[in-house]
Amino acid sequence: MKISDAYLIVSSPGRNFVTLKIVTESGIYGIGDATLNGREMAVVAYLEEHVLPALIGRDASRIEDIWHYLYRGAYWRRGPVTMAAISAVDLALWDIKAKAADMPLYQLLGGKSRERVMTYAHCTGRDIEGCLDEVERHIALGYRAVRVQAGVPGIATIYGVAKREGERYEPADAELPAEHVWSTEKYLNHVPKLFAAVRERFGDDIHLLHDVHHRLTPIEAARLGKAVEPYHLFWLEDCVPAENQESFRLIRQHTTTPLAVGEVFNSIHDYRELLENQWIDYIRTPLSHGGGITHVRRIADLAGLYHVRTGFHGPTDLSPVCLGAAVHFDTWVPNFGIQEHMPHTPETDAVFPHDYRFEDGHFLVGETPGHGVDIDEALAKQYPYKRASLPVNRLEDGTLWHW
């Protein structure tokens, strides 16, 4: 099963995506997601200049060997760009292997552990009332879990909330980084009111999630975790920047609110202390940033030793290719938790035909051999790349903060 060709399709159907296609001599090809929001062309250069030429002629069935050839062989290990590149190759090779075996990817991983995959929706509002209306709308769509994010009085623009009511939220909203202003105090004083309002109106059964998006210090995160305990969240996500895994020891000592982390992680090494000390409850690293199936399943296995479950990152800046592979992984993985669901636009879905289905708040995996997602290259060409950058965040005194 020799690799005869490997190339990238950079396309922007509503937003930028980078897709890898690996073709074998037999004609079987695999698709991988190489999208890194705001740094897309860094991954393109890494793959085109340093990886793809070295794949030609290699045996596509040797997934593990190619993984280490790209990881150990790079010398300069880890990091989001390198691991996004490795992830894209890995996803494409697993797609090829499953197609060659004429089976859906979840079968190759070990078969179904569940019939369907619980998801959570993004419910946002410029204010609490607007957010509550979105919760009502999504419960009607069958969601059992919602992530709630609302505007904070005195903060003009906040993570997760569109600038105008009813607009789709896209963080990479300018060619060069937009500048936002942040106030931890205003946020901490306001967020507990959001959860009180949701529980008041919708009761205890709906799972509630919230994304702090890396913005607190550990003691502030401990304060927030304690303040929302009466509302028993499913998880509080990215409550502090997590380069210092030790920070979570302090947070854990103060609160029983479950903690999720890892969408910006890219290897098992980012998690080791967190898992061995049971400082977190969910891992978030998506297949397209964490080294693909080959590496993320190792992370999931290690997490399982410590009662930690998966909760894959799944915003619209991960392509349907990543989401499709994730639905297979979610269907198989024994310590599954939940899958993020931020629906792609119709123009994105048209470029990436897929067989996963969304129904009653859950994903249903398809039976097509492989991960079940393809790319319409002719249609993709109609959407040229345009640079788009994530914002930066400043405190009210001008300090450059965490976005």
List, by residue number, the catalytic residues: 159, 213
Tokens of 125: 């509002």
Task: With CB under 6 A as the rule, give the number of residues binding ligand KDG.
Answer: 10
Of 54 and 390, which has the nearer Cβ to ligand KDG? 390
Rounded to an integer, what distance in angstroms lies between the CA atom of residue 174 and that of residue 100?
A: 42
Does 119 sit near ligand KDG (CB under 6 A)?
Answer: no
Does 317 sit near ligand KDG (CB under 6 A)?
Answer: yes
Closest CA to 313 of 343, 291, 286: 286
Q: Is the dihedral of CA 191, 194, 200, 204 positive or negative?
A: negative
Does 125 sit near ligand KDG (CB under 6 A)?
Answer: no
Q: Which of residues 142-181 bind ligand KDG (CB under 6 A)?
A: 171
Q: Phi and psi for 240 in degrees, rounded to 5?
A: -140, 160
Of 381 and 387, which has the nearer Cβ to ligand KDG? 387
State the amino acid at position 189 in one-letter form.
Answer: N
- Angle (nearest 5°) at CA 68 between 74 and 63: 130
- Given a contact cutoff of 8 angstroms between Cβ atoms, the answer to whether 341 and 121 are in contact is yes
Q: In the bound complex, which residue of the shown chain has the CB atom lying closest to Mg ion?
A: 211
Quickly tell me which residue has 């075996």 as its tokens: 101
Of 93 and 296, which has the nearer Cβ to Mg ion? 296
CA distances from 200 to 22, 123, 196, 251 (A): 52, 16, 6, 27
- Least distance (Å) between residue 294 CB and Mg ion: 24
Rounded to an integer, what distance in angstroms lies between the CA atom of residue 98 and that of residue 246?
A: 40
Rounded to an integer, what distance in angstroms lies between the CA atom of residue 339 and that of residue 355?
A: 17
Task: With CB under 5 A as the rule, give the number of residues binding Mg ion.
Answer: 2
Q: Which stretch binds ligand KDG (CB under 6 A): 3-11, 148-156, 245-253, 313-321?
A: 313-321
Q: What is the largest CA-CA distance in the chain?
A: 61
Q: Which stretch binds ligand KDG (CB under 6 A): 22-30, 63-71, 193-201, 311-319?
A: 311-319
- Least distance (Å) between residue 326 CB and ligand KDG: 13
Q: In what order do the strands lie in the sheet with 3-11?
A: 3-11, 17-24, 29-33
Q: In the set 33, 95, 134, 211, which binds Mg ion (CB under 5 A)?
A: 211
- Angle (nearest 5°) at CA 130 between 126 and 313: 75
Q: Which of residues 10-69 bind ligand KDG (CB under 6 A)?
A: 37
Does 211 sit near ligand KDG (CB under 6 A)?
Answer: yes
Interstrand relation of 29-33 and 309-312 (parallel, antiparallel or unpaired)? unpaired
- Least distance (Å) between residue 312 CB and Mg ion: 11
- Given a contact cutoff of 8 angstroms between Cβ atoms, the answer to whether 370 and 95 are in contact is yes
Binding mask 255-274 toward Mg ion (x if CB under 5 A, else -) reads --------x-----------
Does 263 sit near ligand KDG (CB under 6 A)?
Answer: yes
Q: Which stretch binds ligand KDG (CB under 6 A): 18-26, 97-105, 218-226, 312-320?
A: 312-320
By a kind-dependent CB cut-off of 5 to 8 A, residue 317 interacts, out of Mg ion, ligand KDG, none, with ligand KDG
Residues that bind Mg ion (CB under 5 A): 211, 263
Residues that bind ligand KDG (CB under 6 A): 37, 171, 211, 213, 263, 313, 315, 317, 340, 390
